[in-house]
Amino acid sequence: MLKKISIKKISDLAVALMEKGTLLAPVKDAAGHNFAELKDQQQLDLNYYNTIVSPKTVFLPQKEDFIKYETGKPIIEAQSVDLNIKATFLLGVRPCDAKSFQIMDIHFRASGIIDPYWQQRRDATVIFGYAFDLDIPAQDADFYQTLGIGAADPEGSDVFMVKKGEDLLLGAVTPKGEEILAQLAMLGEGKPADKKYFEEYIKKGSQHQTRNMCLDPQVIAKKLEDIFHSGEFWQAQSAACLSCGICSFVCPTCYCFDICDDTLFSQGVRRRVWDACMFTDFTLEASGHNPRTQVYQRLRQKVCHKYSFHVRKYGVISCVGCGRCTKYCPVNIDIYSIIEDAMKA
């Protein structure tokens, strides 16, 4: 099923989606774009490259309250915080980010234990993927092509959107996508010419150049295992690293979190907050021992987790080449360069 709408009328689409549930799209603030709930249909604007923080915030919020309690009272009296999730429409997800949800699913609902919060949010959300504009060259930091993701790759989306001149084409990718497109009355039908354009665009997308190297997950996994103990390699790569944590926070495939009990006077909340393996105290144990006190150990962990351990455990590289870690790193550390150097080491 292929639908279309004039880009000038995009606010009508926003109105319809806002009526059906919560509409989340990239909203511009002083620093750049980030996914946020649209309160006004005029806010819907498709002129951006990508968001600062990845859309994982939709399914794994940076702060999530679970249980409210009162100290001194029996546990049975603690109250779970209700999710109260409405139908959600996540609009404007780039192909690399759409792919990241599939990788994250491995951890949150495919490895035996299902995270009910992730699950509920995921089930309630329809993903409107949005192809990169093929007329604009990929940004220097991007390398999703290396990871086998095309600039107009519909995988991971429920509906996939492609710009065609003054129009926006919306193609259904999954049954969920078909269902929602059928309900949106303001959308016009895609003509055969549109269908052709859509399919060709997707094909052209896989040729869209980003930084590219031949990267077989098994090969890089083994390579990283071989150089794990090379202090020289990792010291050199991490010499500039501040160990701040920005890379983990903006990354679409980083999922580490911390559970905290925040009590104030006698009232408290048990909540989940994002954590980062780059933080100095990430591996600080109750005994006081910390196996990763040095920056190079933490950077090595990050790179090896994504490109080696994750491959060994789940068969896929835990990275989608979105380039955010490189773009927002205060010292311009580039994971692509590290992997390149590792392959040559």
Partner 1 sequence: MTDFKQIENSLKREAKKLLESAEVPVVLAYARGYDEKHPMPFAAKSVADVEKIVFNEYCNFNMARYIMRFPDAAKIAVAAKAADSRAIVVLIQEEKVRREDLVILGISASGMKDPKTDQLIDSRTTGGLYNPVEYDILLGEEIRGQKIVSPYEVLAEYEAMDKEARWAFWKSQLDKCIRCYACRKACPMCYCDPCFIDQNKPRWADKAPQSPGNMMYHLTRFHHLAGRCIDCGECSRACPVDIPLYLFHKKVAKECEEMFGQAAGMKLEDKPVLVDFRVEDSDQILK
Partner 2 sequence: MSFEPKILGIACNWCTYTGADLAGTTRLHYPQNLRVVRVMCSSRINPSFIFRAFQLGADGVLVGGCHPGDCHYNTGNLYARRRLAVTKKILEFAGLEPERFRVEWISASEGNKFAEVVTEFTARIKELGPQQKLKIDELLEKI
CA-CA distance, 123 to 113, in Å (whole number)? Answer: 16
269 - beta bridge partners? Answer: 68, 262
Ordered DSSP codes for 90-129:
EEEE-HHHHHHHHHHHHHHTSSS---HHHHHHHHHEEEEE
Q: Which stretch binds partner 1 (CB under 8 A): 178-186, 235-243, 303-311, 313-321?
A: 235-243
- From 75, 76, 113, 264, residue interacting with partner 2 (rule: CB under 8 A): 264
322 binds, among partner 1, partner 2, none (CB under 5 to 8 A by kind): none
CB of 297 to partner 1, least distance (A): 13
From 83, 114, 136, 239, residue interacting with partner 1 (rule: CB under 8 A): 239
Q: Which of residues 136-195 bind partner 1 (CB under 8 A)?
A: 140-141
Of the candidates 26, 7, 8, 15, the one whose C-alpha atom is nearest the C-alpha of residue 185 is 15
311 binds partner 1 (CB under 8 A): no
Count, residues near partner 2 per rule CB under 8 A: 3
The item of partner 1, partner 2, none sharing an interface with residue 267, based on CB under 5 to 8 Å by kind, is partner 2
> Within a 10 A sphere around the Cβ of 50, how many other Cβ atoms?
22
Phi, psi of 137 (to 5 degrees): -65, 150
Task: Return the number of other C-beta atoms located less than 10 Å from residue 254's C-beta.
Answer: 27
Given a contact cutoff of 8 angstroms between Cβ atoms, the answer to whether 247 and 329 are in contact is yes
Q: Show Cβ contacts of residue 186 under 8 Å, excluding neighbours closer than 6 positions.
A: 5, 9, 12, 13, 16
> Of 3-11, 17-25, 35-43, 275-283, which part binds partner 1 (CB under 8 A)?
275-283
Query: Among 114, 182, 213, 273, which residue sits at the site for partner 1 (rule: CB under 8 A)?
Result: 273
Is 336 an interacting residue with respect to partner 1 (CB under 8 A)? Answer: yes
Do 152 and 130 touch, CB atoms closer than 8 A? no
Q: Which one of 267, 293, 332, 337 is in contact with partner 2 (CB under 8 A)?
A: 267
The answer to whether 42 and 12 are in contact (CB under 8 A) is no
Neighbouring C-beta atoms of residue 87, cutoff 10 Å: 13
79 binds partner 2 (CB under 8 A): no
Instruction: Please report, as residue ranges, which positions from 59 to 78 form the binding site for partner 1 (by CB under 8 A).
Output: 62-63
Tell me how far apart the alpha carbons of residues 64 and 246 are, in angstroms, rounded to a whole number.
19
Distance in Å, CB of 68 to partner 1, minimum:
14
Establish if 262 lies at the interface with partner 1 (CB under 8 A): yes
The structure tokens listed for 52 are 């600062």
- Indicate which single residue of 246, 251, 299, 339 sits in contact with partner 1 (rule: CB under 8 A): 246
Residue 2 DSSP SS3: strand
- Considering the complex, state which of residue 171 and residue 245 has its C-beta at the smaller distance from partner 1: 245
Which letter does DSSP use for residue 305 in this model? I
Nearer to partner 2, 61 or 188 (CB): 61
CA distance 151 to 139: 12
List residues near partner 1 by CB under 8 A: 29-31, 52-53, 62-63, 140-141, 239-240, 242-246, 249-250, 258, 260, 262, 271, 273, 276, 279-281, 295, 326, 328, 330-334, 336-337
List residues near partner 2 by CB under 8 A: 264-265, 267
